Amino acid sequence: MPAIATMSTNKLMAILTGSEGVPAAVTAISQAGDVSLAAVSTEQIIAQNVASDLAERSTISNYPLVYVYCGKVVNQLREKFRTFSGEAEMVIEFRISQDQLDGMQPNLQAYVDAVTEVLDDNRGDWGDGVFYAGGYELTFGGIKHGGRNFLQVGKISLVVQVSTN
């Protein structure tokens, strides 16, 4: 079972950090709209499930940050002769921080839009038995103290189908 979570996370990381991934999408949104977004590099996209306060204490955080992880794996045994045929619930957390409250919510929404554009463009077969049919759920957390003074998190949850031996 852990191999399913790792494989699914690696597939999603490859899509998010690829040439048409989040960094390119953020640049395109920033150039097309009236919102000024800080660039996102592939080093700011991390495959890890860690609380924001713990991450700040243990590493030097260069916001915005994107955390990618598998939150749940369910083996539904839909295919009779497969060892695993089920779902992996993936989570992408986009964390932004700034020293003023002004513009935080619109900026976070623009960053999340960039991620959802990348997901929309990558529906279908991700290889090695991982398939993304589309669909996701967005959750926006409240602004709290942290980071450069204020911190806000946007969470994108999606389900990928996995079928492997």
DSSP sequence for 13-71: HHHHHSTTSHHHHHHHHHHHSS-------GGGEEE----HHHHHHHS---SSEEEEEEE
Preceding amide of 23 cis, omega within 30: no
pLDDT at res. 104 = 92
Report the 10 Å Cβ neighbour count for 102: 9
Residues 6+ apart with CB under 8 A from 108: 94, 96, 140, 152, 153, 154
Strand partners, 131: 125, 161
First to last CA, the chain: 11
pLDDT for the residue 33: 75
Phi, psi of 57 (to 5 degrees): -75, -25
* Three-state secondary structure call for residue 9: helix
Q: What percent of the chain has pLDDT over 90?
A: 76
pLDDT of residue 141 exceeding 60, the answer is: yes
Give the residue extent of every domain in the chain: 2-164
CB 30 within 8 A of CB 24: no
pLDDT at 149: 86
- What percent of the chain has a predicted confidence (pLDDT) above 70? 94
130, β-bridge pairs: 127, 162
Q: What's the pLDDT score for residue 59? A: 66
How does residue 146 score in pLDDT terms, banded at 50, 70 and 90?
A: confident
Please state the pTM of the whole predicted model: 0.91
The model's pLDDT over 53-109, given as tens digits with 9 standing for 90+, comes to 666 666 667 899 999 999 999 999 999 889 999 999 999 999 999 998 888 999 999
Average pLDDT estimate for 127-156:
93
pLDDT class of 1 with cuts at 50, 70, 90: low
